[in-house]
Amino acid sequence: MPRRRKRARFEQLTEFERGRIIGLREAGLSYRAVASRVQRNSSTVMRVWKQWTDECRTTRKSGSGPRNVTSARDDRHLVRMARTDRTASSRQLAALWSIATGVSLCASSIRRRLLQCGLRARTPLYRIPLTHDHRRLRLQWANQHRDWRADWQHVVFSDESRFNLWYHDGRIRVRRYAGERHLPECIIERHSGRTPGVMVWGAIAYHRRSQLLRIVGNLNSNRYIREVLQPEAVPFLQSLPGAVFQQDNARPHTARIVKSFFAAQQVQLLPWPACSPDMSPIEHVWDVIGRRLARDPRPVASADELWMFCPKALNGREGYLYGGPSKGNWLILTCYTWEKPLKRPCSQPVRRIRTSD
C-alpha cells in the first residue's frame, strides 16, 4: 500500500491578503492571475471569492480542532495564581491547579494559556535591598538636586569597577537538537575558583574624563590615596575650576585618613546617599567598556591582556558626561528601587562586578 503523502503546511491568509484577492477579482482578473499576484493556489483564491460573494465576509471560520480544557474563567484563575507567585514554574502551577480544581492540566497547556494572556517567563531584574532610611535619603538627595542645571558641569563622578574573564551571566542560550546537550559547541566552560580579572578606577566630567587606573589587589584607604587620589584624581580636579568630587560610600573612600586628605587638598565633595550606584552616570561608562570587550573577537587569555583592551574600549564619546544625571523627575522615580542592569549575552563573556558600597 503506498504511503500517504504529507500535506504541505501553508501560512493562513491575512486580512490584507483576503482584501487584496477580493479587490483584484473585482478589477476583472481571473483566478489564475490573482493567484500568481498573491502567490497562492487558485483554489484558495476561489474559496475566498466564493465566501465573499455567498456570505459577504472574509473572516476565517474557527478551526475544528480540540477545544480548550479551560474556560475564560479558568484562565483568569490561572493568571491570578501566576501573579500570586511570580517565580512559580509551569510544572508547579500545574500541580497547584490540580490541587485547587481537581482537573489535570499539563505544564505546556499552562504555558500556552499564560502566553495568550500576555504573561511570559523572563529573566528578573536584580537589586540590593533598600531600607526605609535608604529610600528616604535617596529621595532627599534627589529633591535637593532636582533643579540643578549648570552645576552638573562641575561635578566629577568617580567609581571603581571590576572586569572578569571566563564568565557568563546565565542569559546566553544555545540552539540545539535533542541529545546534543554534551556537544562541545553547546557547552560553556566555567571555572570553579576565583576568576581572574582587573579592577579599574576612572572619573568623568562634563566633556572630559580621567585616565583609567588599574588597581592590583584589594583597595584600602592608604592605597586609595597613594595610587588613585594623588597621581590622578587630585590633578584632574585641579584642572577643572570649581570641581566637585563624587564618590560612593565604600570604606576606602570614607576613612578618616581620606577625609583628612581631602580637607588638606581643599577638595569639595558631593554628598552621596548609600546604596545608590544607579544614580551615577559613570555606570554607563562601565557598561560601554563591558559591551565593547565582549564584542572584541580577539580572545583574551590573561588579566594583563584584558587590561590592555580596557583603555581602548573607551575610544569614543561614551566616556564623557554630556548632561546632568537628573532629567525631569526621573531621578525622583529611581529613589525607591535599585535595579542591577542585566548583562547582555555575548560570544566572549566578560563580567563587571561592582565594589562594595
- CATH label of the domain that carries residue 207: 3.30.420.10
> Is the same domain home to 156 and 215?
yes
Question: Which H or E run includes 112?
Answer: helix 107-116
Domain carrying residue 153: 135-171+191-317+330-339
Contact criterion met (CB below 8 Å) for 289 and 313: yes
> Is the same domain home to 24 and 145?
no
What is the reported pTM? Answer: 0.62
How many other CB atoms are there within 10 angstroms of residue 8's CB atom? Answer: 5
How far apart, in whole angstroms, are the C-alpha atoms of residue 335 and residue 326? 12
> Is the same domain home to 164 and 266?
yes
> Is the same domain home to 93 and 223?
no
Indicate whether 280 belongs to any domain: yes
Indicate whether 323 belongs to any domain: no
Query: What cell numbers appear for 17 in the block?
Result: 491578503
Q: Name the band, by pLDDT with cuts 50, 70 and 90, for residue 279.
A: confident
> Is the same domain home to 29 and 78?
no
pLDDT at 270 over 90: yes
Domain count, the chain: 3
> Is the same domain home to 205 and 307?
yes
Side chain identity at residue 278, one-letter code: D
What's the DSSP call for residue 206?
A: B
Indicate whether 7 belongs to any domain: no
Q: Cell 584632574, residue?
A: 236
> Is the same domain home to 248 and 153?
yes
CA 278 to chain centre: 14
What's the DSSP call for residue 121?
A: -
- pLDDT tens for 25-72 read 999 999 999 999 998 999 999 999 998 988 888 776 666 556 777 888
> Is the same domain home to 77 and 153?
no
Indicate whether 66 belongs to any domain: no
Residue-level length of the chain: 357
Indicate whether 114 belongs to any domain: yes
Q: Cell 576606602, residue?
A: 252
Instruction: Give the model's pLDDT for residue 326.
Output: 44
Q: Cell 477545544, residue?
A: 67
> Is the same domain home to 198 and 277?
yes
Side chain identity at residue 111, one-letter code: R
Indicate whether 99 belongs to any domain: yes
> Is the same domain home to 250 and 148?
yes
DSSP E strands: which ranges in the chain? 155-164, 197-205, 208-209, 213-215, 244-246, 268-269, 351-354
- pLDDT tens for 283-293 read 888 888 888 88
How many other CB atoms are there within 10 angstroms of residue 219's CB atom? Answer: 19
